[in-house]
Amino acid sequence: MSIIKGMKTVMRIILLILLCTSYNAKCQDRSEPKFNNAGYKNLNHYIEDKIHPIIKGSKVTTICMNSASFCKFDILENGQVGKISFTLNTPLDLIEAYKSVLYSTNGRWEPQLKDGKSIDSDPFLLPIMFYFTVGCNKAGDVTNDLETPIRNILKFDDGVELKNLKCIILPPAVIGAID
């Protein structure tokens, strides 16, 4: 009799494990969207490869500045890039270049999942560090402004402030043109 009781207990445990395993397999969450592009290691490598040709032909290389900016964007439940915004005082040509590259990632995202369903993601925050000396009249004229971007980290050009920095922070992108 005790063998039968033991077998019943083992069977219940096995059933419980199977039920939990199959439930978890169906309802796995993805805490953040996943960037898929076989030719690139990650999103930053993709951005780095695509941004340089755009920047090279733009007016942004004629500025004389060492600074930073922050780009905020999200991935919608359909896997497309949503609204893209930048901290205040970001050079317009830099904004246009990064928007172009980020929108080119459409179709390469697996959306964030919650309870097994696609949802809009928390915002991504991409720090952008830039250094341009091509527009300087002489060596040493570079405007170093790293304080303003930090002060503006919550103030974006779309008028929406990033509340409590609830976001997915990406590694910084670095770009520059030196004369």
**Does residue 129 surpass a pLDDT of 60?**
yes
Q: Contact, 143 vs 78, CB < 8 A?
A: no
Q: Do 44 and 113 fall within a single domain?
A: yes
Spatial separation of the C-alpha atoms in residues 149 and 169, rounded to whole Å: 15
Q: Do 38 and 75 fall within a single domain?
A: yes
Q: Do 44 and 126 fall within a single domain?
A: yes
Q: Do 22 and 35 fall within a single domain?
A: no
What range defines the domain where residue 38 resides?
31-177
Q: What is the token pair recorded at 22?
A: 């199959």
- Residue 28 is predicted with a pLDDT of 57
Q: What is the mean pLDDT of residues 39-60?
A: 85
Burial (Cβ within 10 Å: 0-12, 13-18, ≥19) of residue 4: exposed
**Does residue 80 surpass a pLDDT of 90?**
yes
- Residue 166 is predicted with a pLDDT of 73
Spatial separation of the C-alpha atoms in residues 74 and 105, rounded to whole Å: 12
Q: What pTM was computed for the model?
A: 0.76
- For residue 60, give the nearest of 100, 29, 22 by alpha carbon: 100
Number of domains composing the chain: 2
Per residue in 83-110, pLDDT (tens digit) is 999 998 888 888 999 999 999 999 899 9
Chain-centroid distance of CA 86 in Å reads 13
Q: Do 123 and 153 fall within a single domain?
A: yes
Q: Contact, 126 vs 70, CB < 8 A?
A: yes
